[in-house]
Structures are given as C-alpha cells and as structure tokens.
Amino acid sequence: MLRQFLDFHRAALIDRAWGLTAEQLQIAQPPSTLTLSRLIGHMTLVEEHWFRVRFDGEDFGERSASFDFDADPDAEMTHAQSLSIDELTTSFEAACEDSRAREAAAETLDQASKRSHPRTGETWNLRWIMVHMIEEYARHCGHADFIRESIDGDTAG
C-alpha cells in the first residue's frame, strides 16, 4: 500500500507538467518562486537523498554531488530550470526507479537507514521514509495543482 501511494503521487507530480511548453514550466505565482520545473527538480533530489543517501548510506550521484548548496540553497531547483521537460522527466524517473529498487531490496519495512540524523544520531526505518515521502509528495502535488491551474486552467490533477 505504501508503494502504491508513493507511486501515485510520483505520477501525479509529473502529470501536472504534461503538455506544457518549456516557458510554461517556468511560470511562478509571485511571491513564490516555485515552478513546475523547480518542483520536479526538487523531488528528484529528495528521492536520491532519502533512498540512496540516507537509507542505503551511499553518496549522492554525480549530478546531485555537483550542486553547490552553499552558493545556492535551492541548487537542485535552479538546475532544473535549465532542463527540458524530457530531461526533467528522465532524471526524475531514473531517481524514482532507483528508489523503488532500493525499497524492493530491503529485507523489511523495519530496516533502519544506514545513515543517521547528523545532529541526533537517530536513524529512520524504511516505513518512516516511505510515509515521509508520501507526505512530501502530497504537499508538493498540491503546489503543482495550483501552479498548473494558474497556467492554463487545468484542474484535472
């Protein structure tokens, strides 16, 4: 059930960008700087951060490791603005597929993350990570719904 809800929200986020032009993907509703491309770029990084880095204890992949978060705290979003919809969805889908493989390889939902919280030392089990990801997607899919509606009136999300 967790996997199905997570995949539902992954698909819902990408659906909000379907059929839009490159220019439309960059439309924000002030005072927010969020755009659909920035949201997709952010969730691509979040997938990698929770499943690859925190859960499996690996380093970020080449793309994410190159971001300079000291110079730009929103580097994953800034980078996403330079990508086409095909590049955005390819990166996003690759990150999601990698996350799915890591989740499927886990022995149990109670399996603890290999990395711990940097301040508290607390670990997260896979169940917590998946519920957190569903929550993260639900929030951002709501943002994406508002952005999409402001672009072309589409409320079918």
pTM: 0.95
Burial of 104 (0-12, 13-18, 19+ CB in 10 A): exposed
- Give the DSSP letter of residue 96: H
Of 126, 131, 141, the closest CA to residue 51 belongs to 126
Q: CATH for 2-152?
A: 1.20.120.450
Place of tokens 């990150």: 95
Contacts of 99 (CB under 8 A, 6+ apart): 47, 48, 50, 51, 52
Q: Are 133 and 46 in contact (CB under 8 A)?
A: yes
pLDDT at 156: 81
- What residues does each domain of the chain span? 2-152
pLDDT at 157: 63
The amino acid present at 116, given as its one-letter code, is: S
pLDDT (tens place) for every residue of the chain, 157 residues total: 999 999 999 999 999 999 999 999 999 999 999 999 999 999 999 999 999 999 999 999 999 999 999 999 999 999 999 999 999 999 999 999 999 999 999 999 999 999 999 999 999 999 999 999 999 999 999 999 999 999 999 988 6
Separation between Cα atoms, residue 113 and residue 98, nearest integer Å: 16
Q: Are 81 and 26 in contact (CB under 8 A)?
A: yes
